[in-house]
């Protein structure tokens, strides 16, 4: 089956799907959309929301639904998410409420943005999160809160989060944390960094690799 992934590089929900694609060894065509492209997602799914997986049965734009479609052998043990949905959703909300205000002002200067899409992104996000310069002024608060969360959750790390084998929890958790690698004044401690890199290696994930190879089928070389 042929798969095309429409996505943004920075987006944690898009990163979820890229991690899953890599772990499951599914080849796909990567199409990175400019953030100000409204027509493509509307034409595919009638909603400006990415990621979108376009495949033989149509197009799907919910990250967990996409992963369920791809994971035909349940290698990521999706049932674990639904058993602990409240726990993981609350954790992701906690993490995101600090990662997003920290990283959004920096994401817009990564290679996926040009001046037009940068302006569009900033206008959209400032409408809901507030001016970027004010977010940057509060960075100490966000960093402190994130460090508290990571210190608390570190005791849940074995080889992977809560379990001894990689599963959907790791995909969800790593996708929300990975953006912090571009934040200039933050470093993960050794345990968290090794965990993130371990999952990234298993998923053949490199943050900006799809940007440099977008619009081409992505080969896997184990």
pLDDT the model gives residue 207: 80
93 and 192 part of one domain: yes
58 and 102 part of one domain: no
Tell me the CATH number at 89. 1.20.1050.10
pLDDT the model gives residue 221: 30
63 and 110 part of one domain: no
Alpha-carbon gap, residue 204 to 201, rounded angstroms: 5
Cis amide leading into 182 (omega within 30): no
144 and 93 part of one domain: yes
Would residue 90 count as lying in a domain?
Answer: yes
Would residue 99 count as lying in a domain?
Answer: yes
Q: Is the pTM for the entire model greater than 0.85?
A: yes
139 and 196 part of one domain: yes
Q: Specify the DSSP element, H or E, that contains 5.
A: strand 4-7
pLDDT the model gives residue 182: 92
Alpha-carbon gap, residue 175 to 10, rounded angstroms: 10
pLDDT the model gives residue 67: 98
- Number of domains the chain is built from: 2
Alpha-carbon gap, residue 11 to 60, rounded angstroms: 16
167 and 106 part of one domain: yes
104 and 164 part of one domain: yes
pLDDT tens sequence for the chain (222 residues): 899 999 999 999 999 999 999 999 999 999 999 999 999 999 999 999 999 999 998 999 999 999 999 999 999 999 999 999 999 999 999 999 999 999 999 999 998 999 999 999 999 999 999 999 999 999 999 999 999 999 999 999 989 999 999 999 999 999 999 999 999 999 999 999 999 999 999 999 988 776 665 544 333 332
Would residue 163 count as lying in a domain?
Answer: yes
137 and 55 part of one domain: no
64 and 89 part of one domain: no
Would residue 93 count as lying in a domain?
Answer: yes
Would residue 148 count as lying in a domain?
Answer: yes
Would residue 110 count as lying in a domain?
Answer: yes
pLDDT the model gives residue 213: 57
Closest CA to 161 of 81, 96, 86, 102: 81
Would residue 29 count as lying in a domain?
Answer: yes
Q: How far is CA 191 from CA 144, 174, 179, 198, in A?
A: 18, 13, 17, 10
Residue-range definition of the domain harbouring residue 144:
79-202
Would residue 218 count as lying in a domain?
Answer: no
> How many Cβ atoms sit within 10 Å of the Cβ of residue 116?
11
pLDDT the model gives residue 8: 96
Tell me the CATH number at 43. 3.40.30.10
64 and 163 part of one domain: no
pLDDT the model gives residue 58: 93
86 and 172 part of one domain: yes
Distance of CA 133 to the CA centre of its chain: 24
């Amino acid at each position: 089956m042929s798969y095309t992934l429409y996505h943004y590089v920075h987006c944690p929900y898009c990163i979820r799907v890229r991690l899953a694609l890599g772990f499951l060894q599914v080849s796909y065509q990567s199409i990175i959309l400019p953030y100000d492209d409204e027509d493509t997602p509307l034409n595919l799914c009638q909603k400006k929301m990415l990621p979108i997986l376009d495949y033989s049965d149509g197009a799907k734009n919910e990250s967990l639904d996409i992963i369920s479609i791809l994971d035909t052998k349940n290698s990521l043990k999706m049932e674990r998410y639904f058993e602990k949905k409240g726990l993981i959703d609350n954790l992701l909300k906690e993490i995101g409420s600090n990662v997003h205000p920290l990283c959004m002002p920096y994401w817009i200067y990564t290679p996926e943005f040009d001046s037009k899409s940068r302006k569009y992104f900033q206008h959209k996000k400032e409408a809901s999160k507030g001016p970027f310069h004010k977010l940057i002024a509060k960075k100490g608060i966000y960093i402190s809160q994130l460090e508290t969360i990571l210190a608390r959750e570190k005791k849940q790390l074995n080889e992977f989060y809560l379990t001894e084998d990689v599963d959907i929890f790791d995909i969800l958790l790593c996708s929300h944390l990975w953006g912090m690698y571009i934040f200039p004044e933050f470093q993960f401690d050794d345990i968290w960094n090794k965990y993130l890199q371990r999952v990234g290696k298993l998923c053949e994930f490199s943050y900006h690799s799809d940007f440099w190879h977008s619009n081409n089928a992505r080969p896997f070389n184990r």
